[in-house]
Amino acid sequence: MAALLALEPAGLRRVLKAGLRQGVEDLPLRELVAQELDCEPGSSAVDQLLAQLQQRQWLVHQGKIWKTRLA
Amino acid sequence: MVKILAIHSFRGGTGKSNLSANLATVLAMGGRRVAIVDTDLASPGVHVLFGFSPSADQQTLNDHLEAGVPICRCAHEVTPAEVKQARGHVWLVPAAMNSDRIARLLREGYEVEKLNDALFELAEVLKLDVIVVDTHPGINEETLLSTAIADCLMMVMRPDGQDYLGTAVAVEVAQRLDVPAIRMVINKLPSYFDAQQVRERVSSSYQVPIGALLPLCDELLTLASGDLAVLRFADHPWSAGVQQLAHDLVASVL
């Protein structure tokens, strides 16, 4: 969680925080990312950011839920 | 949906565990299903307030984090009689008091997200209304997680110079993690302190609502963490302060 605290910008912290607690479903996550990136939820920018976060294994898919894994 | 109340302080000795246990009890007196989880893995203690000491065959939070024991088996009902009458429930998830277990967990570590998942699994199994998370003082992985997932963070401090400085760091961390609600709790306030001055200083220092100003009191010292003040000294100003804090939380957060 120190990693979460250290992340910039604040929007990225908000996105990853959404994956804590019980996790977040795909559509609300995409909407949150889109809000932070000021684009549409279906845009490639959202796809790219989610893909990067998955590649870093900071976000993982568990069924229909995205969960944050920063450890 | 379960609400997470994280009780935190930057420094030790602020009365966090006492507040956690008593606040959980007051909330349960309102007929709620409440769990209190001792995440102070390095120096556990909240179980003492409930007169609970896990026997060799009773599971603790350490058993879940280290060995994957289902979290519901690590929760023990400690509901006081007065709370039962009010149809409330209190469960405790204690941390291990064995020095070897403590040292092992600190040495080997664990994925802190396991703690996150455990809380919500527990909430589902026990149908909890509230989880009170008693944290270790200072900034570490567990306290950062508890802060990040809290619906309300209670920052406990004494009216002491070191606490003022350290609490500023903790409040900044909480704001950086977008905690939806923060409440300052000033505990162990000596009778000769001007309460209004303290209130103004805390308000201006942190720009965060004050949840409670709780007095330093002989009765609590007498209890020595051996019992719950809100039950034994229900009419005492300290207990009244905790009850008012609970009332505030019910109105604004829960």
Residue boundaries of the structural domains of chain B: 3-252
What pTM value is reported for the model? 0.96
The model's pLDDT over B39-68, given as tens digits with 9 standing for 90+, comes to 999 999 999 999 999 898 999 999 999 999
User: Contact B177/A17, CB-based, under 8 Å?
Assistant: yes
pLDDT band at B222 (very low <50, low <70, confident <90, very high): confident
Q: How many CA atoms lie within 13 A of A48 on its CB side?
A: 6
pLDDT of residue B223: 79
In this predicted complex, what is the ipTM? 0.93
Closest partner residue to B178 among A17, A68, A71, by Cβ?
A17
pLDDT of residue B92: 98
Domains of chain A: 2-68 (1.10.10)
Q: Where are the alpha helices (DSSP H) in B41-153?
A: 46-49, 61-67, 81-85, 99-108, 113-126, 141-149
Q: Which residues of B166-191 are buried (b: 16+ CB within 10 A; e: fewer)?
A: bbeebbebbebbebebbbbbbbbbee
User: Contact A1/B141, CB-based, under 8 Å?
Assistant: yes
- Rounded average pLDDT per 10-residue block, chain A, 71 residues: 94 97 96 95 95 95 93 70
Query: Does B173 score more than 80 pLDDT?
Result: yes
Chain B residues with CB under 8 Å of A4 CB are 144, 148, 177
A10 → chain B, closest CA residue = B176
Residues of A with CB under 8 A from a CB of B: 1-2, 4-5, 10, 13-14, 17, 20-22, 67-71
Burial class of residue B148, CB neighbours in 10 A (0-12, 13-18, 19+): buried
CA dihedral B90, A17, B250, B118 (to 10 degrees): -10
DSSP type of residue B138: S
A70 → chain B, closest CA residue = B113
Could you tell me the CA-to-CA distances from B119 to B16, B177, B238 in Å, in that order? 19, 19, 29
Query: Does B4 score more than 90 pLDDT?
Result: yes
pLDDT band at B24 (very low <50, low <70, confident <90, very high): very high
Report whether B108 contacts B124 (CB < 8 A): no
Which residues are CB-contacts of B107 (< 8 A; sequence separation ≥ 6)? none
The model's pLDDT over B121-158, given as tens digits with 9 standing for 90+, comes to 999 999 999 999 999 999 999 999 999 999 999 999 99
Q: Which CATH class is domain B3-252?
A: alpha beta
User: Contact B148/A20, CB-based, under 8 Å?
Assistant: yes
B42 sits in the region (left: phi over 0; alpha: psi -120 to 50; else beta) called: alpha
pLDDT band at B225 (very low <50, low <70, confident <90, very high): confident
Chain A residues with CB under 8 Å of B177 CB are 4-5, 13, 17
Could you tell me the CA-to-CA distances from B101 to B95, B156, B161 in Å, in that order? 10, 28, 35
User: Contact B116/A21, CB-based, under 8 Å?
Assistant: yes
Closest partner residue to A1 among B4, B145, B178, by Cβ?
B145
pLDDT of residue B178: 96
Closest partner residue to B141 among A2, A68, A69, by Cβ?
A2
Q: Is B138 on the interface with A (CB under 8 A)?
A: no
Could you tell me the CA-to-CA distances from B61 to B2, B15, B170 in Å, in that order? 19, 21, 25
